[in-house]
Each structure stands twice: as C-alpha cells, then as structure tokens.
A and B are shown apart, each in its own frame.
Chain A
Amino acid sequence: MFGIPHQRREEFDRAALAHVPELLRVASRLCGSADAGEDLLQETYLQAWRSFHRFEAGTNCRAWLYKILLFTYAAQNRKRARQPFLVDLDAAGETALLVDSPTPDTLTAEAVKTAFDRLAEPFRTLVLLVDVEGLSYREAAEALAVPIGTVMSRLSRGRGLLRLDLARHAPESSTGARSRMDLPAQRRARS
C-alpha cells in the first residue's frame, strides 16, 4: 500500500472542495486574517487528503473537514489554545454566570470585535462556530470531539463573558442597569 489510490482523488475533489468557501471564512475568522486563514485551510485540506483513505463515502464530509480544521488550528496554536485552560477557567465562567450581564443598548462593530478577540479559548471558537457560522450544538460537538453538554456549558459561559466584557466597556447609560439589578434578585427569589 503506497499512498491513496488515484480513483479517490475525484471523490475527494467532489466531496471536500465544495466546502472551501465556508471553511475559508471560518479559518480566516479563527486566524483573524485572510492570509493566515488561507494557509490554515491549505494545511487542513492536505491533512484531509492524507487521511482520505479513512473517510467513508456518504458520511458527513463537512463535519469531518471541520474537525480536521479545528485540530489543525489547535495544533498550530497549541500554546495559545491551551493558555485559557491555565487561566482560571471556572472562575471566569462563574463570574459570567453570576453577573449574567445584559447586552448593552449601544453596540459598535469595533467594541464587538475587541470583545470577541479578548474572549479566551475554547469559548471563542465555540461562539464563532455556533453564533456566527450557525452550526448546531450537535455539529459543534462533533467538530470539536467533545460531548454536547460541554458545548452547551462552554457556549453559555462564552456568551456570558462576551456580554460581560461589552457591558464593562460600554458607556454607563447603555448597560441596562435595571435588568442587571433585577436578575440576581430573581435568582434569590427562586432559590
């Protein structure tokens, strides 16, 4: 056995290359630039081609490519990808959950971009996959090879952290102070 049989190339082109536009967008967003995204995507497709002998025709090629893309991205950014786990992950998440900050009234593209860039992994990738790219929770779980419950809890924390960051940096008048005060009171009343 030496390499991948020739006849599989057509199958690879047909099944995998159709997803280039979507994956290019995700790769570029993950990397923060089109150039870096293109490099990441090329490496992703080379990895996919090298392991195409393991891909079963008729299964979900898009999900398979997402998985390779995210592993390749994580491998290339291993240090950065691991860093958030070294930071106080639980404390960060709990803060977001406890405060449950309302979304500011006034949102600007710049503030949203800055808050997103400040978001730690793995929250950042999940918010991108689900809230921006529109993957279902199940698809995101498959792509990241984690249980769906992990996706839901990380998403909840990630979204909370994003709102918290936006609220912290928003003008005082736009943070919906009333809601922020009401929610802890409601929680106490329920418990």
Chain B
Amino acid sequence: MNLDCQHVREVMDSYLSEELSVETNHDVLRHVAGCRDCAAELKRRGRLRALLSETLEVAGDADRVRARITQAVDREQRSWARGARLGAVAATLIAAVAVAYWAGKPVDAAAYDDSAGDHIACALTYPEGTAYDPARAAENLVPPFERMADAVGLSHGNYHVIDAHMCPYKGRNYAHLVIRGDGQTVSLFAERAERGALPDTPTMVLAGDALDVHATTRLGYLVSAVATRDHRIFLVSESPTDPPDLAQDILRSAVGFIRSLEK
C-alpha cells in the first residue's frame, strides 16, 4: 500500500508514539524517504514533542515529596491504629457518647464530602467491564450489610451493581455498592450513624415515603443522603440519572433494607 501525504500526516503522530502496525510503520518510512515535505513535517513534529517535554519540565524534589507522603500516610495509619486499639473500649463508650451526641444534636459536618471522596477514591477506579461477582461480594460485606446488594437490587433499569464491599474511608466503614449504567458510575453508601446528624441542605421528600432526602453537590458530584434511625445512606453520582426517578428507586430500596435492619 502506498500512503499519500494526507494519510501519512494523519498517522504521523501515531508513528512517533510507536503505535502503528509494523506494516504501516514501513509504509510511513517508505513515504517519508521519498517525500521532502512529509520528512520535514515529521521532523517538526518530533521537535515539537521535544520542546513540549523541555518546556513543561517542573523541578520537584522527589525524595522530599516521598518523605512528605510517608508522613501523611503514617499519620493516617496511626489514627486508624489508635481507633482499632481503642475499639473495645470505644464500643462501650460509643453508646454513651451517642446519647450525648443525640442529646446535643451534633452535626456530621464531613458526611457529604467523605461520601463524594470515597466515590472518587474507590468507585471510579473500577476498570471498564467489571462484572458483579456474588462470591466476592459475600466475602467482602460483613454483618449486618451482607444482604445489601440483593436487597437493594442488582439491576435498576440500565444501571447494574458491579461490586459490593465494606469500604473503610477516613475512619468510616461504609457498606459500598458500586453501580454502573449509561456511562456513569454511581455509589450507594450505608453507614451507622455514629457522627451526628446530616448537615442542613435543601431537602426533598422521597416520593411515596416520609423521609427527607438531603441533596447537595460535593467535589463536583451530586450527593443525595437519607438519615434513618441508626444509619445514613448516601447516593453519589456524577450527573442526574436517566430516568430521573431511578436514583429515587435505588434510594428507596436502600432505605427499605436499612429499616429492616433496624426493626
């Protein structure tokens, strides 16, 4: 096959990136050997890349940054370790603290940010094509959430649960369903209400139910949250689901499941 100049220009950058098949690579080389214009353009594009690398060089001290990261992870690990050591004692204290919490109505100020943060850190990292594995979910969910995926429903319209697991994040321990559909990823989180009330946001009433849904945007994601007696449920999505009431269906199923745990 003889490539003309137009075709060579179209694949020239892929040639520089070494992304062409051996055959097309040879075609480009053959063409460039006999075409001064394309040879000159190839040289200019190579020079452009070299200049890009050169001009975008930003000096950074990798050793210093590695030390900084290590310290930050140490701090986080220490806070978790402290939490684990104190776990047994805390278990007895939590009830008392919770009573005090509820009496004073503390607010869980980071509730929305943390759900959006974990959505980014966890749900968005699932590779394309991930499929739900009931055995993996059964292994990764712990009581009382072990039935959550089935109870909420594995499919809602075009949206399907692709994973379910316990998801530790900033000292929380979410039960996390990762749901995919229509090109977007949605997270459903449930956690025990141990940090206080949901912060005030505009609320809407879930159709057919008496629960308020807090709706807000955090870190660029839509967060819909519902507080039940002992739990908090968060639905995090990039954009409104289609159809719009699909998010409500998922939330409603989740609320039904969580309420069944609280009976």
Contact = CB atoms under 8 A, between A and B. Distances in A.
Interface in A1-29: 1-4, 6, 9, 12-13, 17, 20-21, 24-25, 28-29
Contacts of A171: none
A160 to B, nearest CB: 9
A179 B73 contact: no
A45 B168 contact: no
Interface in A30-66: 32-34, 37-38, 41-42, 45-51, 53-54, 64
Interface in B131-153: 142
Contact of B56 (A128, A130, A179): A128
Nearest to A34: B60
Q: How large is the interface on B (under 10, 10 to 19, 20 to 34, 35 or more residues)?
A: 35 or more
Given A45-B69, A51-B125, A4 B168 contact: yes
A149 to B, nearest CB: 12
B60 A38 contact: yes
B interface SS class: helix
B232 interface: no
Interface string A113-149: 1001000000000011011101011000010010100
A118 to B, nearest CB: 13
A32 B60 CA distance: 12
Contact of A137 (B17, B76, B117): B17
A34 B66 contact: no
Contacts of B45: 103
A137 B11 CA distance: 14
Q: How large is the interface on A (under 10, 10 to 19, 20 to 34, 35 or more residues)?
A: 35 or more
Given A38-B65, A42-B69, A71-B120, A3 B80 contact: yes
Most buried by A among B4, B10, B62, B171: B62
Given A3-B84, A103-B48, A145 B128 contact: yes
B225 to A, nearest CB: 19
B47 interface: yes
B122 interface: yes
Contacts of A17: 66, 69-70
A88 interface: no
Given A3-B80, A176-B41, A183-B9, A53 B65 contact: no
Question: Closest 10 CB pairs between A and B?
Answer: A3-B80, A78-B220, A103-B44, A28-B58, A21-B62, A47-B121, A109-B55, A113-B55, A186-B6, A34-B60
Interface of A: 1-4, 6, 9, 12-13, 17, 20-21, 24-25, 28-29, 32-34, 37-38, 41-42, 45-51, 53-54, 64, 67-68, 71-72, 74-75, 78-79, 82, 100, 102-105, 107-110, 112-113, 116, 127-128, 130-132, 134, 136-137, 142, 145, 147, 152, 155-156, 159, 162-163, 166, 176, 178-179, 182-183, 186-187, 190
